[in-house]
Structure 1
């Protein structure tokens, strides 16, 4: 590094000459007045200059080391102990810089901790948040937004994953300088329908990372679902309750009038009234059960459940009903069947509904066959939860009349019946398979139905393994 050496030497010479100049003037005056010879005067000045050069060289070296140490600190490096601590002239400067360094490190630590807390707070907010720049690209996305739209969201244009025109118009309006916040509702259809309230507002000042607009999404799915369920409840309940209520009203009028003193008619009518009241009770119970399941449908269950044990308990509960018709419920569970993540009561209700249907619609004296095995190939409609890991297949088969193909797509609709009169005669509410469908959806599984007219029907439930 000769260039730096030359520059250092030049600095030493220039500082030495500057400091020795007064001494040189004194020697020149002494030589001019004859008090000192010229050679001696020059030699004395040279000695003084040499001594000054040594002192200046050491001092400049300390200054250079101190400057390099300060530069290293400014770049965030660890420069080691400060130089020049033994130099009395630099000791105070070194102490001041050291104090400044400690204060700066403490402030940096506080700022880093504050940033970490803010980052954690942002990521733990339940609502998805997206920070957008002036080009409508995502600068920052919290964990809720990442779960909703995917981990590759940052850096992408908003329109590449959120294509709702109302949201894009609101963002564009705020980016264009519109004052205040804009709000609008939109829906995401995959994997399940969800409704959000989008709020778009501009951030004041100069936000970090180039973010200009904050897009907040508030999940309205539960609220909308409750509104829809309330409307459905009123419509469906009024429809289904009208017939038994009309029957009860008619029998009451008859008992109060023509049959007041007819003991035989009274007993017969009271039996029918009890049957209709029971039907209304079952309908209300199923409606409440369906409403509760739908409310929790977007929250996956987290309890580990032994499926084989649950299936055997469900079959045992229905054994008296099956024996009354000369039927038997057989349960076969493959050895080593993995556990599933489930809500035990809901899963028990699911399989009890399927077995109950199989007993009701199977022929007298036949078997209801329940088989739980490891799934090999999955149906095309299987969702990501089933494809991500292994899956369990539970089939419930009856030997009844079967169901015509045109009815299969609508079997899980509320109040849909293939044979309305037969269903009501057997005490059905028309909600059993709707409840099954929503329980399967909450457990991130799949329900398939296969039926052959004259031979019977098989309902198959596919459920994902619980993680190890």
Structure 2
């Protein structure tokens, strides 16, 4: 997608038919539940709905007819959306999407940005529709679930430790072989519960693999 700037150009003259089509497109975008921005083959913004204007923090009239890649750099929302679009476009076709977090209406929102190429019936491209799906509710639920699992796992550690110490004490002071069999069964059950607790805790962790790099001096034979 060429990043051709059209800032400074005068307004394009539109026929009545074109204006009618723009009005129809605007009406369709208004009915969408997601923020949507339409740009043509030259990356010029041809339409967008109010949700998109709100997220970008730009009035619709100020962005229409201008290059999406040539707007003011002092708007942090626009800069973040533009960066997310570039990230998404860098992925293979079918995987083009990117998440970003923006502070909108008093709180942080998580959006999933997706660019969708627009083509005519003969396959000729004529633009791109950029959508921003609000994923905040889903991400909030994921965080709540993760926090709950981590809390339950940590809360299990104290009683499990106490039970383990009590069972160990019983093992030492119980001479009856039959009672030892019962105690051994309890020990196995406690071990399974502890493994389950550890597994739950590991699910909530972002386990990343780190590679340590260090310089080592060595001499080759004959050097």
Instruction: Give the TM-score, by structure 2 length.
Output: 0.46
Q: Taking CA–CA contacts closer than 8 Å with sequence separation of 6 or more, which of the two structures ends up with the larger relative contact order?
A: 2
Report which of the two structures shows the higher radius of gyration computed on alpha carbons. Answer: 1
Relative to its length, the structure with more helix (as a share) is: 1
